[in-house]
Structure 1
Amino acid sequence: MNKKVWVVGLLIGLVSLVLAACGGSSSSEEVKTGSKGGNKNEVNLMETAEIPSMDSKKGTDGVSFTAQNQVFEGLYYLDQDDQVQPGVAAGEPELNDAQTVYTIKLRDDAKWSNGTAVTANDFVYAWQKIVDPATAAEYAVIFDGVVKNATAIINGEKKPEELGVKALDDQTLEITLEQPVPYFQSLLTFPTFYPQNQEYVEKQGENYAKDSEHMIYNGAFVMKDWKNTSKTWRFEKNDKYWDKGSVKTDAINVQVVKEPGSAVNLFDTGKLDRANLTGDYAKQKQSDDNYQTELESFVYYLKFNQKQDGKDTIFANANARKAFALAIDKQQLVDTVLGNGSQPATGYVPAKFTFNPETQEDFRTESGTYQKNDQKAAKDYWKQAKQELGIDKITIELLVDDQDFNKKSGEFIQNTLQEQLDGVTVDIKTVPYKNRLQLDENQDYTLQLTRWGPDYQDPSTFLSTQMTDNNYNRASYSNAEFDQLMTKASTELVTQPEERWQAMIDAEKVLLDDAGIAPLYQSGLAVLQKPELTGVVHHLFGAPFSYKWIEKK
């Protein structure tokens, strides 16, 4: 099956992953408004964590994707209404009769910030590097089972040069797929499909994308004053960008702010034009004229690692997983801890995100409600699990990152599990966002509070992550029935939309009845935003935010 996680997403729209985590900011880290722009039209925004990577081959999270989306552009991009528009591409692709070969002409005014033309080879080079096992790109999986020969290349069976992408000339790109992918064009907006200039990247060597001085850009902005550990950075209007006339802002100053109290203070003192709110601050500010909220498509969940250091953990036991999943009151979590418009998760696929291709019914509505809080059932499952495991007491480590709302969520989960499950002690391990991602990648945790955001607009962008061989499973979860349903949805049912849809509904039921994971809540985004600020575009899939249309009037 080979990580055919992505094959699962053949009928794709597009998405985004993992939205921002919280970062931190002290007064010494605050961006000074107009620090480099005098009286220019500038905007001051915050981010919730430091940027893990600006290399489009390496990005895996929403913070990285948001930053990359401001300074790079792919063949297509998402507009203010999440509709696909030509970016570097000059227009719509030409398709062969089998719908497997895309021929795309590039616009002749697409330039890198050093004045070099963006060419078809820039896409060929970047994509071949991503699928090359030597790169160890986590998001190579986005090509797996989609672009011709990607699977064999990822598995070391073919050379990267055999990937189904070629430059017919400087302005013409040809892409060959393994099979028809009706929404492949929207997938091309995703950051992993951005181009890279081979001559420039190879000249920089290991320094490429380590800081803003070792990158060139082809998006609406260029990046300034950033290095890998920065808590502040700056986007400045890119005069080489083909659509620079649509960019109304000269510069955007960004600073990392982890604590909601700091965000409110910076907003109140005019140092932020938009501030994220969580917890008590989100509840306190609901009557503020600057308060706004909207539902996101990120789902936060408990991840049960079944194998750690080569040994089974207690979560290899299904009854233990079910006990932990049912013990938590999700409504209380969103009401008392978050207060930002988040909603209890009734499944893994979020609400208001993807819809039945024929009836337009919300997947969440059709699939139903799973893992509803049930304290009695949780205690019964735990009693059974203890008997099967031969234990009476156990200490579990819960991994969370250092964002304020995640720390508070972790404390809520800790208290709940210790109160509801006899003999359970929960120790919280709090680490910076980037460290949590690394521990997850190394599968060095027992229980983790994490999240997933959609990379494309289809249920498979969530469900496929729990397949046995998926790169993002990282918990040794395996269920043959679930794998079979998801594989079927990505292969034989790919041209039968209703049957495919039902297979994914069935797959979610298998996953959650088995407590492969424990979805907690679908995140809401609460912010304070200055009335003169407009044009902050929040995408429900793909890169979380676009700043191209920002304007401060």
Structure 2
Amino acid sequence: MKKALSLVLALGMAVSTMSAPALAEEGGEFNIRACIASEPETIDPNLENTVDAAVYSMHLFEGLMKYTNNGEPAAEGDDRVQLMDYDYGVAESYDVSDDDLVYTFHLRDEAVWSDGEPVTAQDFVYSWQRIVNPETAATYGYILNGVVKNASAIQAGEMEPSELGVVAIDDKTLEVTLETECPYFIGLCAFAALMPLRQDVIEEYGTEWTTPGNMVSNGAFVLTDWQHDNYIEMSRNDQYYDPAGPDKITWYLSDSQSAMLAAYEAGEYDFFYDVPTDQISTMKDAGQLFTADQICTYYLHLHCDNIPDWRVRAAIALSIDRENIVENVTQAGQTPATGVVAAGITDSEGTNWVDRVGDIMWQPLAEMYPDADLTTYSGRCDLAVQLLDEAVAEGYDTSTTMTYEYNTSEAHKAIAEAVQADVANVLGLEITLHNSEWQTYQDNLNEGEFGLGRMAWSADYNDAITYIEMFTNGNSYNYSNWVSDEYTALVEEIKSLPGGEERDAKMQEAEALLFSEGGFSITPLYFYVQPYCLQGEISNVGWTPLGYFSFIHATQGAAE
């Protein structure tokens, strides 16, 4: 609980005073209590833009495809959590045309909504047209651009949403026409933002359609309660064709790592993963914490209006000691990042992208400054000072204080303090740290009220474009307000190419442009892993390295 727990801790009272359903005894209800984040901005699938909101959506809704446990352990030493693969969801099969441009999905007859109405192809048409409609102002409005026919033109206001290349042939047949062959399209069909939605429900209730009693969903669970800033409660959907394991999931809402840990240790949570960094080693050694691979990059936005000289942005990037951050701050097995595309993404031949491109963040600088030693931190610091000196010689004012914006979290604070110290020690530049609750933090990023802004991106699917397209002109995730017509045109070209080496090479070229002259609007810090804590007799929890845990088929007792 976001507020109640922090109050309890402040007063030094026992966390066990929380009102929480206990894990069921044998023969009783099977309830799971988890905490993965604070209050979500929305649980409207089309409008969600965070991993936690996507997790909630994936329990409440089901897309054409879904994630299913594959039986392989997600973390060393723990067989209770399994990796998940793509599987058929509402679609029971699909056909692809000879030119790979037309996908025809056949929907299962047993797929129904929580009110008993059948899920139809038109429910997908409505949802997909809604997300690309500029009037919806969906953060993920761009997700189908260059993928589904006419999506880009619709987003640009040049065509109507009804002209999107998605058609209901009949109630159980959905036809999707692509702009070009897309190697990650089937992965997109499991993405939370593209779940089917009921037009009649949304039109009847407007923005209140996501409240308990109003929401109609087609997934394994239904929304039964939402006490804002406290918890979200879901109960098993009796209409779902593949009944869930738990009877109920209670998602507690908190942004306090210490509060989460206290609740977990008091037996009030069965699962949480935002572990205080100073407890990671202790809990891991005690066998209470496990670590799963995750395809995610932690990086900073460097606002191009507030830090207008690219050399200063590059100097800041060079001055940060990433090894220190992963070894002494995060401490969970993260690895330093020298590119924005996360470890775990593969190219068209299955090669890990990071292995393909190497230390791509430093390569353009190495070409511009061939005498610099970019293989060591001390060498990078030397170049950082040189770049700052060049900028100062041309009028850059070093007396300006930069604001580092981050959302409230002990972990983000510790990282921010490490960056602040590095920049001060190496460059003599002053950074002021500012934290705020998630929505205020998002508003500050959108309004450009920062010099540095922390961000992390968990891949939406296994393709480098999930990272690369975020930094095009006007993209909703381009918080740095970086403008590069060259980069944007290159990304548009990439999205017109079929999968293969030519496309891979263009994406590598685009990633290098991010760190070339005029760039450094972002600076990656590290590649994620996902620590988690799970207690009680719970098994068959699902995990995908794209960042989602699933309790849909969790069971009581030892792992199967």
Deviation, 1:488, is 3.1
Matches within 5 A, 1:61-460: 61-80=50-69, 81-91=83-93, 93-209=94-210, 211-226=211-226, 229-244=228-243, 247-276=244-273, 277-307=275-305, 313=306, 315-351=307-343, 353-358=344-349, 360-369=350-359, 370-371=361-362, 373=377, 374-422=380-428, 424-460=429-465
Contact 1:31 1:254 in 2 (8 A): no
- Match of 2:552, SS state, is coil
Partner of 1:13: none
Q: Distance in 1 between the 2:24 and 2:286 partners? A: 31
Report the CA distance shift for 1:189/1:376 in structure 2 as closer, same or farther (over 3 A): same
Q: Distance in 1 between the 2:407 and 2:288 partners? A: 29
Contact 1:345 1:520 in 2 (8 A): yes
Identity of aligned residues (%): 28
Deviation, 1:183, is 3.0
Give deviations 1:22-66, integer Å, cap 9, x for gaps.
999434894502499994111121122211211112111111111
Deviation, 1:545, is 2.2
Q: Distance in 2 between the 1:517 and 1:452 partners? A: 12
Matches within 5 A, 1:503-518: 503-513=506-516, 514-518=519-523
Q: Distance in 1 between the 2:398 and 2:130 partners? A: 51
Q: Distance in 2 between the 1:126 and 1:462 partners? A: 24
Contact 1:341 1:526 in 2 (8 A): no
Give deviations 1:208-267, integer Å, cap 9, x for gaps.
11x23321111111122215x3331222111110111xx221111221233333333222
Contact 1:418 1:425 in 2 (8 A): yes
Partner of 1:42: 31
Q: Distance in 2 between the 1:392 and 1:205 partners? A: 49
Q: Distance in 1 between the 2:550 and 2:351 partners? A: 28
Give deviations 1:127-171, integer Å, cap 9, x for gaps.
122222221112110121221222222222222111111212211
Query: What TM-score, normalized to structure 2?
Result: 0.87
Q: Distance in 2 between the 1:483 and 1:162 partners? A: 24
Please provide the CA RMSD for this pair: 2.3
Give deviations 1:325-377, integer Å, cap 9, x for gaps.
011101111222211222211211111x122323x321101111135642222
Report the CA distance shift for 1:170/1:51 in structure 2 as closer, same or farther (over 3 A): same
Q: Distance in 1 between the 2:18 and 2:421 partners? A: 35
Deviates more, 1:63-72 or 1:428-437: 428-437
Contact 1:110 1:218 in 2 (8 A): yes
Report the residue type matching 1:137 in the other structure.
Answer: A
Report the residue type matching 2:347 in the other structure.
Answer: N
Contact 1:327 1:417 in 2 (8 A): yes
Matches within 5 A, 1:526-541: 526-530=531-535, 532-541=537-546
Contact 1:235 1:252 in 2 (8 A): yes
Deviation, 1:481, is 4.5
- Match of 1:357, SS state, is coil
Q: Distance in 1 between the 2:193 and 2:90 partners? A: 15
Q: Distance in 1 between the 2:418 and 2:396 partners? A: 28
Contact 2:38 2:229 in 1 (8 A): no
Q: Distance in 1 between the 2:552 and 2:395 partners? A: 55
Q: Distance in 2 between the 1:441 and 1:146 partners? A: 26
Report the residue type matching 1:328 in the other structure.
Answer: I
- Match of 2:401, SS state, is strand
- Match of 2:142, SS state, is helix
Q: Distance in 2 between the 1:445 and 1:388 partners? A: 23
Report the residue type matching 1:128 in the other structure.
Answer: Q
Contact 1:52 1:63 in 2 (8 A): no
Contact 1:533 1:551 in 2 (8 A): yes
Deviation, 1:544, is 1.9
Q: Distance in 1 between the 2:5 and 2:62 partners? A: 29
Report the residue type matching 2:263 in the other structure.
Answer: L
Contact 2:295 2:345 in 1 (8 A): no
Report the CA distance shift for 1:490/1:403 in structure 2 as closer, same or farther (over 3 A): same
Report the CA distance shift for 1:23/1:405 in structure 2 as closer, same or farther (over 3 A): farther
Report the CA distance shift for 1:159/1:23 in structure 2 as closer, same or farther (over 3 A): farther
Report the residue type matching 2:424 in the other structure.
Answer: Q
Give deviations 1:269-295, integer Å, cap 9, x for gaps.
211122321310112222112221123
Q: Distance in 2 between the 1:183 and 1:82 partners? A: 17
Contact 2:257 2:409 in 1 (8 A): no
Residues paired across the two proteins, number: 515
Contact 2:60 2:220 in 1 (8 A): yes
Report the CA distance shift for 1:390/1:175 in structure 2 as closer, same or farther (over 3 A): closer
Deviates more, 1:478-487 or 1:401-410: 478-487
Report the residue type matching 1:406 in the other structure.
Answer: H
- Match of 1:204, SS state, is helix
Contact 1:149 1:164 in 2 (8 A): yes
Report the residue type matching 1:509 in the other structure.
Answer: A
Q: Distance in 2 between the 1:261 and 1:335 partners? A: 21
Contact 1:44 1:271 in 2 (8 A): yes
Contact 2:304 2:521 in 1 (8 A): no
Deviation, 1:531, is 6.0
Structure 2 gaps, min length 5: 9-14, 70-82, 363-373
Deviation, 1:96, is 2.3
Contact 1:164 1:177 in 2 (8 A): yes
- Match of 1:512, SS state, is coil
Report the CA distance shift for 1:342/1:30 in structure 2 as closer, same or farther (over 3 A): farther
Contact 2:346 2:462 in 1 (8 A): no
Query: What TM-score, normalized to structure 1?
Result: 0.88
Q: Distance in 2 between the 1:257 and 1:207 partners? A: 23
- Match of 1:225, SS state, is strand
- Is structure 2 residue 489 aligned with structure 1 residue 498? no
Report the CA distance shift for 1:52/1:134 in structure 2 as closer, same or farther (over 3 A): same
Contact 1:23 1:48 in 2 (8 A): no
Deviation, 1:484, is 4.5
User: Which of these residues, 530, 547, 554, is aligned with residue 550 of structure 1?
Assistant: 554
Contact 1:43 1:552 in 2 (8 A): no
Deviates more, 1:361-370 or 1:29-38: 29-38
- Match of 1:518, SS state, is strand
- Match of 1:83, SS state, is strand
Contact 2:33 2:251 in 1 (8 A): yes
Q: Distance in 2 between the 1:481 and 1:199 partners? A: 43
Structure 1 gaps, min length 5: 1-21, 308-312
- Match of 1:366, SS state, is helix
Report the CA distance shift for 1:130/1:31 in structure 2 as closer, same or farther (over 3 A): farther
